[in-house]
Amino acid sequence: MTAKTDMTRPKLIDQEALSRHRARARLDRAGFLHDEARFELQERLLDVNRTFTSPAIVTPFPDLWADFLPGAVVVPDSDLLALDPGAHDLVLHVMGLHWAEDPVGQLVQCRRALRPDGLLMVTMLGGETLNELRTALAQAESEVMGGLSPRVAPMGEIRDLGGLLGRAGLSLPVADRLPQRVTYQTLFHLLRDLRDMGETNALAARHKATPPRALFARAAQIYAERFPAEDDRIAATFELVFLTGWSPHDSQQKPLRPGSAAARLAEALDTTEFDETARPVPVLNKRGQE
């Protein structure tokens, strides 16, 4: 009998734990990132200068986002999105993609839900988020427990996240970031905010056992020493990333074919065009020697 190899990819996210964390979230106490995301999305939609008649919102926090767009269909960010193909001219994916097991799959489903020339806007947490906490926990765990375990979810860098739009088949991709610096009294006040946000550790590979009390006490000490803020507080970084892409349509701008330009860049810049095959001009010294 031939042995079969299990090719199933291990899960990154413990979905049950993630659901529990989101269910106990208290965004009335720690919803400032959502407030900022709402404001920025409103500004970006105004810049688009288009009227959308059939919007949809994908979010793990439907109660908070249900009133963001009148008449919007609001669905959870499950593996299989409850969106009908070609039913929407605008889809917002809000504050959930950083926990997606398959972020490209989520974007592909959003694109399929769009009509031609429909708009997708995503807001999520980016790779700079909680870099201070990662550093403090890593050093403390190495000292106290003699090793490391995953305690803060890996989050994509903006360059990589922007590339996901093209992989999902979206046109005219744009990615930008908005760092948020927040201060807290102590590490424990930061952890309480993360619990109220529903953003605590839900990694499948996390240690399930209760950590020793000394671990977080040492982490708090390291954090205060390395990342101080004014008034004897500590600094924390949250990075909001915004992704924008369009469902392909013939009316959209397309890159020119190489060699089809009507004018040279050198002419526009009033400079000399560099010829890679030309011999470099020698630099002479005062005696006329190279």
pLDDT band of residue 1 (cuts 50, 70, 90) is very low
Q: 176 has which bridge partners?
A: 242
Average pLDDT over residues 9-17: 84
**How many Cα neighbours within 13 Å face the side chain of 280?**
4
Name the least confident of 39-43, 129-133, 207-211.
207-211
pTM of the model: 0.81
Q: What is the pLDDT of residues 49-60, one digit of tens each?
A: 899 999 999 999
Q: What is the pLDDT of residues 255-278, one digit of tens each?
A: 556 555 555 655 655 555 555 454
- What whole-number distance in Å separates Cα of residue 81 and Cα of residue 58? 8
Quote the pLDDT of residue 49.
87
Quote the pLDDT of residue 266.
53
- What whole-number distance in Å separates Cα of residue 130 and Cα of residue 181? 10
Question: What are the DSSP calls for the chain, one per residue?
Answer: -PPPP--PPPPSB-HHHHHHHHHT--HHHH-HHHHHHHHHHHHHHHHHT---SSEEEE-S-HHHHTTSSTT-EEE---SS----TT-EEEEEEES-GGG-SSHHHHHHHHHHHEEEEEEEEEEEE-TTTTHHHHHHHHHHHHHHHSS----S-----HHHHHHHHHHTT-EEEEEEEEEEEEEESSHHHHHHHHHHHT-S--BTTS--SPPPHHHHHHHHHHHHHHSEEGGGEEEEEEEEEEEEEE---TTS--PPPTT--SS-HHHHHTSPPP-TTSPPPPPP-TTS--
Q: What is the pLDDT of residues 209-233, one digit of tens each?
A: 677 889 999 999 999 999 999 999 9
Quote the pLDDT of residue 276.
47
- What whole-number distance in Å separates Cα of residue 132 and Cα of residue 194? 14
Name the least confident of 44-53, 81-90, 276-285.
276-285
pLDDT(171) > 70: yes
Quote the pLDDT of residue 258.
56
Q: What is the pLDDT of residues 96-114, one digit of tens each?
A: 999 999 999 999 999 999 9
Q: Please give the structure tokens belonging to residue 194.
A: 């993360």
Quote the pLDDT of residue 134.
92
Statement: 15-249 belongs to CATH 3.40.50.150: yes
Amino acid at 61: F
Quote the pLDDT of residue 259.
58
* Cβ 233 vs Cβ 183: under 8 Å: yes
**Pairing assessment for the beta strands 73-75 and 171-184 based on DSSP bridges:** unpaired
Of 18 and 157, which is predicted with more confidence?
A: 18
- What whole-number distance in Å separates Cα of residue 14 and Cα of residue 7? 19
Amino acid at 188: F
pLDDT band of residue 8 (cuts 50, 70, 90) is low
pLDDT band of residue 76 (cuts 50, 70, 90) is very high
pLDDT band of residue 2 (cuts 50, 70, 90) is very low
Quote the pLDDT of residue 252.
75
pLDDT band of residue 4 (cuts 50, 70, 90) is very low
Quote the pLDDT of residue 74.
97
pLDDT(282) > 50: no
